[in-house]
């Protein structure tokens, strides 16, 4: 009877080490990618410490989350004026304009109608919104603003507003919608998250190249 050849311990050890190395490399690669994605989302978001200002400015562009965020700070007494920007998406087929819809939301939430101002014109870009806000600020003697927008839009909004109000005494704070769907930890899990993130980085590149 022939005895079975005992297993080669060195080969088994080598296989185990190879498997461990394989899983370790993949784990580190996953962590590297994950940290990069979270960092990419985090970079887009800036959040100034909220202080009393002359006006809270709502940048149009959503279904009312920005208005709700702005109302929260208005009710806390951080401003006496409530500004809504008018955009090119004014006509929404509801028997009223988009800015009127946002204005009604603010009024229903408790903001006095005579404290709400809508910018002139129909802005199609953030830069045009900043220009419209500047005109209104000059008309209303506004020297400090709190800009409310989506988290992914805050860094670009800050850059654009600072550029527009350069060489003026305007004090600008930018604050994101809290509780937004866009979060650094999970934006990459949705097509909308990828779309907004790529759009913002593309727009930031254009700004940097023009600077």
The answer to whether the CB of 109 falls within 8 A of the CB of 128 is no
Let me know if residue 61 belongs to a domain: yes
Q: Is residue 36 situated within a structural domain?
A: no
Instruction: Identify the DSSP state of 106.
Output: H
Res. 189: pLDDT tops 90? yes
Q: Report the percent of the chain where pLDDT is more than 90.
A: 73
Domain ranges, residue 137: 55-177+191-210
Average pLDDT, the chain: 91
Would you state the pLDDT for residue 142?
Answer: 98
- In this structure, what CATH number is given to the domain that contains residue 206? 3.40.50.620
Mean pLDDT, residues 138-163: 98
Q: What is the DSSP pairing of strand 55-58 with strand 144-149?
A: parallel
42 domain residue, yes or no: no
Domain presence at residue 156:
yes
Instruction: Note whether residue 75 is domain-resident.
Output: yes
pLDDT digits (tens, 9 = 90+) for 27-47: 788 888 989 999 999 999 999
Kind and range of the H or E run holding 204: helix 191-210
User: Radius of gyration (Cα) for the chain, nearest Å?
Assistant: 25
Given a cut of 70, whether residue 2 has pLDDT beyond it is no
Q: Does some domain include residue 77?
A: yes
Domain count, the chain: 1
| pTM, rounded to two decimals | 0.85
Whether residue 19 is contained in a domain is answered as: no
In a domain, 182, yes or no: no
CB burial readout 80-110, b (16+ within 10 A) else e: ebbbbbbbeeeeeeeeebbbbbbbebbeeee
pLDDT on residue 122: 87
């Amino acid at each position: 009877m022939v005895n079975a050849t005992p297993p080669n311990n060195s080969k088994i050890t080598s296989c185990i080490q190879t498997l461990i190395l394989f899983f370790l490399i993949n784990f580190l690669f996953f962590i590297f990618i994950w940290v990069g994605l979270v960092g990419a989302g985090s970079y887009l978001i800036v959040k100034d410490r909220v202080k009393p200002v002359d006006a809270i400015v709502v940048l149009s562009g959503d279904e009312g989350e920005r208005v709700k965020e702005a109302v929260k700070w208005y009710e806390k007494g951080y401003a006496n004026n409530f500004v809504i920007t008018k955009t090119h998406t004014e006509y929404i087929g509801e028997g009223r304009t988009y800015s009127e819809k946002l204005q009604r939301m603010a009024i229903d939430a408790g903001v006095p109608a005579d404290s709400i101002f809508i910018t002139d014109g129909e802005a199609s870009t953030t830069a045009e919104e900043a220009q419209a806000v500047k005109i209104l600020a000059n008309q209303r003697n506004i020297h400090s603003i709190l800009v409310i927008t989506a988290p992914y839009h805050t860094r670009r909004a800050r850059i654009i507003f600072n550029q527009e109000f350069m060489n003026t005494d305007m004090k600008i704070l930018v604050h994101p919608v809290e509780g937004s769907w866009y979060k650094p930890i999970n934006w990459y899990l949705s097509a909308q998250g990828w779309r907004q993130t790529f759009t913002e980085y593309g727009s930031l590149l254009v700004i940097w190249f023009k600077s």
